[in-house]
Chains A and B, each alone.
Chain A
Amino acid sequence: MTLRQAQGDTRDDAPMLEVEGVSTMRGRVQVLWDVSLTVRLGETVAIVGPNGAGKTTLVGSITGLLPPSAGRIRIQGADVTGSAPERLAARRVALVPERRGIFAPLTVRENLLMGAYARKAPRAELDADVAGVLELFPALQRYIGGIAGSLSGGEQQMVAIGRALMAKPDLMLLDEPSLGLAPKIRSEIFGALSRLAQRGVTILLVEQNLRLAAKICQRAYLMQRGRIVGTATPEELAESARKVYLESHG
């Protein structure tokens, strides 16, 4: 067997992220109920569901911001349940948070550099990676020294994605990256995401826009009232997106 085959054999099915029977509280309210899902290496998986379904809570449970009260979370086989967010960063899990969560008073360049904090890489390497992000999002070039908080929503979303990329993530979690953005910016951002997916970055994408999710994911989980209630193929997502569109326009 060649090396390539050996890698291929283990890679194809190796789970990047395993969520197993996770329940999570917010204050005294249980928000997640026995949630299980798997994302394999190199996959792009979407989580779709209405507002308040618990998607952000699920993402928080994975990053360590909202530790679950029951269940297991594994990253590349290692149990990380209840680990602090810093530990998840060290495992190359990077978050593009809901509503972007950029460091508003810092410059765009500083925001990007902070994404690489856990890597402890030399400055020259980081500068090269910043250049890479600017290649992916040329629109950021002219604001690179500007205060990130003064950028438009779309530009801030690019900063948030670029910041996560600076972590050289094995797993990227994106929480509604299309939220509140103009259609043109959305497609620009989803174009960049699909290029990342092609490069082999594993992506877990939370998205309410089914059409956009269908464009880049290989499969999707449907979430409702804190539970996974089903799965869907991109074709099924696109189909229901069209139905919703027809219903609201016909």
Chain B
Amino acid sequence: MIAQVWQYVLGGVVDGAIFALVAAGFVLIYQVTGIINFAQGEFVMVGGMTAASLAAAGMPPLGAAAVAVVVAACVGALAYLLAIRPARGATGVTLIFITLGLDVALRGLALFVWGTNPYSLPPFSAGNAVKLFGGVLPPQAMWVLGTDLLVFAALYLFFQKTYVGTAVRAAVANPPIASTFGIPLRTFAFASFVVAAAIGGIGGVVITPIPGVQYDAGLTYGLAGFVAAVLGGLESLPGALLGGFVLGIVEHVAGGLLSPGWEQGVGFLILVLVLVLRPQGLLGRAARRA
């Protein structure tokens, strides 16, 4: 029983790592632009589908992975330029509908390009399953967790240690005053979409060798990433990381012990509980900005 639960936990950690990446995308865009981008999960799908279809066409996996991340970033750039930028000044509700529309449009585009067939991608490295305290992880899981570590470390270093990263934090803290010092708010808004999309694409690329991917895979990732971001307080990257893993583990354990159909139900339940009991997230303080 315990061994079984442990195995569910390990599975949850792998999924949770991807949820954390998607959640990081939600947080980045929300912090910089105030927009909740409900199309976030589609970047995972675009990354996974591009990598898988290129690999199927004979490209080596790592090359396909690199191209896929660039494609995802470009989709993010276009999404901003074509859908978000023209609507600047719109109200929050309008922007929510725009990102929901974007989500549907990207899924439709994927259906058009790739059809309904599931795609798969070979693991990045051969080797045996990794044993951990009696549980097992596929070798690809190491790529997933290593990528998570790298992405979050890079984000941390960028925001805390670089001049431009500091300027982004200044822009988040006080946009109009930041702009009077020459800090380019619109460029940062654009960059937040590109980077969030690239991070989603990276997640899609590294996770695809495990469950495979199809045109509508973005829905699940987007929803989970949103719940994870809300769990983390929507304004915190460490919160997104924690929220991703918590959600992944809870979903897998609940799905394993009850039935797989419960996974998403549990996700929704967590979302509702957090919004009601702790809207500032697991790490957030009760009061937000001063």
Interface residues of A (CB under 8 A from B): 63-65, 84-86, 88-90, 94-95, 97, 101-106, 110-111, 113-118, 123, 149, 163, 167
Contact present for A106 and B181 (CB under 8 Å)? no
Pick from B167, B170, B173, B177: contact of A97, CB under 8 Å? B177
Pick from B167, B178, B290: contact of A104, CB under 8 Å? B290
A89 to B, closest residue via Cβ: B182
Residues of A close to B289: CB separation below 8 A: 104-105
Pick from A65, A123, A149: contact of B180, CB under 8 Å? A65
Is B163 positioned at the interface, with any CB of A under 8 Å from its CB? yes
A149 to B, closest residue via Cβ: B290
Pick from A65, A95, A106, A116: contact of B173, CB under 8 Å? A106
B167 shortest CB reach to chain A, Å: 6
Residues of B close to A64: CB separation below 8 A: 179-180
Pick from B167, B176, B290: contact of A114, CB under 8 Å? B167
Residues of B close to A105: CB separation below 8 A: 169, 173, 289
Contact present for B169 and A118 (CB under 8 Å)? no
Pick from B173, B174, B182: contact of A117, CB under 8 Å? B182
Residues of A close to B179: CB separation below 8 A: 64-65, 84-86, 89
Q: How many A-B residue pairs have CB under 8 A?
A: 71
Contact present for B173 and A118 (CB under 8 Å)? no
B138 shortest CB reach to chain A, Å: 40
Pick from A85, A88, A106: contact of B169, CB under 8 Å? A106
Docked Cα-Cα span, A136 to B176, in Å, equals: 26
Contact present for A114 and B170 (CB under 8 Å)? yes
Contact present for A89 and B180 (CB under 8 Å)? yes
Interface residues of B (CB under 8 A from A): 163, 166-167, 169-170, 173-174, 176-184, 289-290
Residues of B close to A97: CB separation below 8 A: 177, 180
Contact present for B176 and A118 (CB under 8 Å)? no
A180 shortest CB reach to chain B, Å: 15
- Chain A to chain B: the 5 pairs with minimum beta-carbon distance, closest first: A118-B182, A89-B182, A85-B179, A101-B177, A103-B173
B169 to A, closest residue via Cβ: A106
A71 shortest CB reach to chain B, Å: 20
A206 shortest CB reach to chain B, Å: 15
Known A104-B173, A113-B166; contact A63-B180, beta-carbon cutoff 8 A: yes
16 interchain pairs, CB-CB under 8 A: A84-B179, A85-B176, A85-B180, A86-B182, A89-B180, A90-B182, A94-B180, A97-B180, A103-B177, A106-B166, A106-B170, A110-B170, A111-B170, A114-B183, A117-B183, A123-B163
Docked Cα-Cα span, A154 to B290, in Å, equals: 17
A94 shortest CB reach to chain B, Å: 7
Docked Cα-Cα span, A116 to B178, in Å, equals: 11
Docked Cα-Cα span, A95 to B178, in Å, equals: 10
Contact present for B290 and A88 (CB under 8 Å)? no
Docked Cα-Cα span, A91 to B35, in Å, equals: 31
Docked Cα-Cα span, A90 to B182, in Å, equals: 7
List 12 other contacts, CB 8 Å, given A103-B174, A104-B174: A85-B176, A85-B180, A89-B179, A90-B182, A95-B180, A103-B178, A106-B173, A114-B167, A117-B181, A118-B182, A163-B181, A167-B181
